Chains A and B, each alone.
Chain A
Amino acid sequence: MYRYILNRILLMIPVLLGIIVVISSLMYFAPGDGARAVLGPDATEEAVENYRQERGLNDPYIVQLLRYIGNVARGNFGDSYRTNAPVMDDILARFPNTAKLAVLSVFFGAILGIVLGVVSAVKQYSILDKIASMVSLVGIATPTFWLALMLVLLFSVRLGWLPASGNYGWKYWIMPVFALSIYEASFIMRMSRSAMLDVLRQDYMRTARAKGQKEFIVIMKHGFRNALIPIVTMIGLEICQLLAGAILTETVFAIPGIGKYCYDAIIARDYPAVQGAVLFSAILCVIINLLMDLLYGMIDPRIRSMYQRTRKARVAK
Chain B
Amino acid sequence: MEKTILEIKDLSIEYRTDEGRAKAANRVSLSINENETLGLVGETGAGKTTTALGIMCLLPDPPGKVTGGEIIFQGEDLLKKSDEQMRKIRGKQISMIFQDPMTSLNPVLTVGEQIAEVLYLHSEMSRDKVEEEAKKILELVGISRDRFHEFPHQFSGGMKQRVVIAIALVCNPALLIADEPTTALDVTIQFQVLQLINDLKQRLRTSMLLITHDLGVVAEVCDRVAIIYAGEIVEIGSIQEIFENTKHPYTVGLFNSIPDLDEERDRLEGIDGLMPDPTELPEGCKFAPRCKHCKPECETAQSIEPVDIAGDHKVRCLLYRASGEVTQ
Contacts and interface: CB of A to CB of B under 8 A. Distances in A.
* A and B touch in their complex, CB below 8 angstroms: yes
B104 A203 contact: yes
Which interface class (under 10, 10 to 19, 20 to 34, 35 or more) fits B? Answer: 20 to 34
Contacts of B167: 207, 211
Tell me whether chain A's interface is mostly helix, strand or loop, or mixed.
helix
Nearest to B106: A204
A154 to B, nearest CB: 43
Contacts of A212: 86-92, 118, 121-122
Contact of A204 (B105, B110, B151): B105
A301 B108 contact: yes
Given A212-B118, A302-B153, A203 B100 contact: yes
Nearest to A223: B106
Nearest to A215: B83
Nearest to B95: A210
B243 interface: no
A8 B49 CA distance: 45
A202 B106 CA distance: 9
B92 A204 contact: no
Contact of B118 (A203, A211, A226, A299): A211
Contacts of B107: 204, 226, 300-302
A13 to B, nearest CB: 29
A302 to B, nearest CB: 5
B240 interface: no
Contacts of B106: 204, 207-208, 222, 225-226
Interface residues of A, number: 22
B236 to A, nearest CB: 25
Contact of A302 (B100, B121, B151, B168): B151
Interface of A: 125, 202-204, 206-214, 221-222, 225-226, 299-302, 305
Given A207-B104, A214-B87, 5 more contacts: A204-B103, A209-B90, A210-B91, A212-B92, A221-B109
25 contacts: A125-B62, A203-B104, A204-B103, A206-B104, A207-B106, A207-B164, A208-B106, A209-B90, A210-B56, A211-B91, A212-B88, A212-B91, A213-B87, A213-B117, A221-B109, A222-B109, A225-B106, A226-B106, A226-B107, A299-B108, A301-B107, A301-B108, A301-B153, A302-B151, A305-B153
